[in-house]
Amino acid sequence: MKLWQGRFHKQLDEAADAYNSSITFDKRMYREDITGSMAHAAMLGAQGIISREDSDKIIDGLNGILAEIDSGELEIDLSAEDIHTFIEGELTARIGDAGKRLHTARSRNDQVALDIRLHLRSSCDAIIEKLSRLIVVLSKMAKEYAGAVMPGYTHLQRAQPITFGHWLNAYGCMLMRDVNRIEDARARMNYSPLGCGALAGTTYPIDRHMTAAQLGMDGCCHNSLDGVSDRDFCIELASALSLVMVHLSRFSEEIILYTSWEFKFIELSDAFSTGSSIMPQKKNPDIAELTRGKSGRVIGDLVTLLTVMKGIPLAYNKDMQEDKEAIFDAVDTVTMCLDAFTPMIETMSPIPENMRKAAAGGFINATDCADYLTGVKGLPFRDAYKITGELVARCIELGVTLETLPVEEYKALCDKFDEGVYAAIDLDRCVSERRSYGGPAPEQVQETAQSLLAQAEMRLSSAK
């Protein structure tokens, strides 16, 4: 039996019913639906719109339903149209007429808009917590490897020396911006549409501010049409989550490269690697690859939401039911990724010897050699650049590095060179001298890691 049965003479067609129903995916909002209804019932009672007695009965009944769904005693009936219908029906079956009064001055349109906001608000908190945990892992590791020299790349060609800690901090910074973005999205989401009704508010003397406050929201949506039909908050969150996935995907790409035999800067724990069914030697970074792959899903969810919303007239249209699967999938995917990704990072073993070997091989101190000619010997940078280029070519010819090229060779190209050049191009020195703010010098890396750690730990302690 449908809620709207009065006007209709025929039962809804079976295929149409299945098509129309949303309970399989909105049942996860049962808690928010119930707490929203409790706030609404309390307000109706306080405003004298329904009796105190009925209001109390409704709240008691809803409390019972919540406890029973939580414990598994009450199963959500998947033949109901949606979670709102199921809970209202269950309540009425338990408490009779009082249950039928709950929906006074309310529509499923403001109800569902409220439920999603409340539900996603918790999702934001949970994901912020998970991101913070990952940032803690990264920052602690960055502190430990603040002095581990490795090549930094541009165009995936060895470029200039950095440290492994510096590299980790780069991802820490990205993820901290993600945390900030989700916090921003959460702040705009935390306004109550309850009381916007179907689209045009209500003639009952409701108190929207009371329900908003009871639900821990920062205020009420200011326009009833907008309140019921706004899904910006889903899109904003999907956008922030897409960026999380883009960051994790780039991170994964580098993990995949760096665990390959060609680099071997990192070894993943066996617990986070997989084997091959045919090649006995294989150890594959599947978790990182899946993360890179799953970024496509979340970006797809964002595109779904934007596309669903772009053409619909005010106010509520059933198209908007499509919001839930997309945003829930984005939330679930990011959650799953972080649950596997963070321990993968935590248990991986960096191999600083290999990083240093790679750093020594790629002429990544060539800029420092040119800087030596400029800074110490007073040559214009462009001349120094050209001479250093010729030095590199000479090294390649001789099969040596700048560190092992004899001083006579240096002098042959420029008589300003002396033994001092070796200290200037020493890799540790090249890194430790790069102490410009945000640079790879170990004390800079320590400082950034410490700041990221503090920001992440603050989030974790306020989550408790």
Which residues carry out catalysis? 155, 276
Calpha distance 192→110 (Å, rounded): 9
Q: Which residue is nearest to ligand ARG (CB)?
A: 321
Q: How many CB atoms lie within 10 A of CB 280?
A: 7
Q: Using CB under 6 A, which residues numbered 403 to 432 contact ligand ARG?
A: none
Residue 103 in the binding site for ligand ARG (CB under 6 A): no
46/198 with CB nearer ligand ARG: 198
Residue 18: its H or E element: helix 14-20
82/88 with CB nearer ligand ARG: 82
373: which DSSP letter? Answer: H
Residue 259 in the binding site for ligand ARG (CB under 6 A): no
Interstrand relation of 157-163 and 149-154 (parallel, antiparallel or unpaired): antiparallel
CB of 34 to ligand ARG, least distance (A): 16
197/350 with CB nearer ligand ARG: 197
Contact segment (CB under 6 A) with ligand ARG among 11-19, 62-70, 104-112, 302-310 equals 104-112
| Interface with ligand ARG: number of residues (CB under 6 A) | 10
Instruction: Kindly write out the interface string for residues 11-40 of this chain, putting x where it contacts ligand ARG by CB under 6 A and - elsewhere.
Output: -----------x---x--------------
25/263 with CB nearer ligand ARG: 25
Among 49, 80, 87, 112, binds ligand ARG (CB under 6 A): 112
CB of 242 to ligand ARG, least distance (A): 22
Question: Which of 222, 209, 225, 227 lies closest to 47, judged by CA?
Answer: 209
The answer to whether 365 and 425 have CB atoms below 8 angstroms apart is yes
User: What values do phi and psi take at 432, rounded to 5?
Assistant: -70, -25
254/332 with CB nearer ligand ARG: 332
Mark 315-339 as b/e (b = at least 16 C-beta within 10 Å).
Answer: bbeeebbbbbebbbbbbebbeebbe
Residue 130 in the binding site for ligand ARG (CB under 6 A): no
The answer to whether 107 and 198 have CB atoms below 8 angstroms apart is yes
Residue 108 in the binding site for ligand ARG (CB under 6 A): yes
Q: Using CB under 6 A, which residues numbered 71 to 100 contact ligand ARG?
A: 82
Identify residue 153 by its one-letter amino acid code: Y
88/178 with CB nearer ligand ARG: 88
Residue 321 in the binding site for ligand ARG (CB under 6 A): yes
3/340 with CB nearer ligand ARG: 3
The answer to whether 323 and 308 have CB atoms below 8 angstroms apart is yes
CB of 459 to ligand ARG, least distance (A): 31
Question: Which of 128, 174, 143 lies closest to 456, judged by CA?
Answer: 128
Calpha distance 313→200 (Å, rounded): 15
Calpha distance 184→400 (Å, rounded): 53
Residue 181: burial class (beta carbons within 10 Å; 0-12, 13-18, 19+) = middle
CB of 108 to ligand ARG, least distance (A): 4
Calpha distance 407→417 (Å, rounded): 8
Q: Using CB under 6 A, which residues numbered 298 to 317 contact ligand ARG?
A: 316
Among 102, 320, 345, 421, binds ligand ARG (CB under 6 A): 320
Site residues, ligand ARG (CB under 6 A): 22, 26, 82, 108-109, 112, 316, 318, 320-321
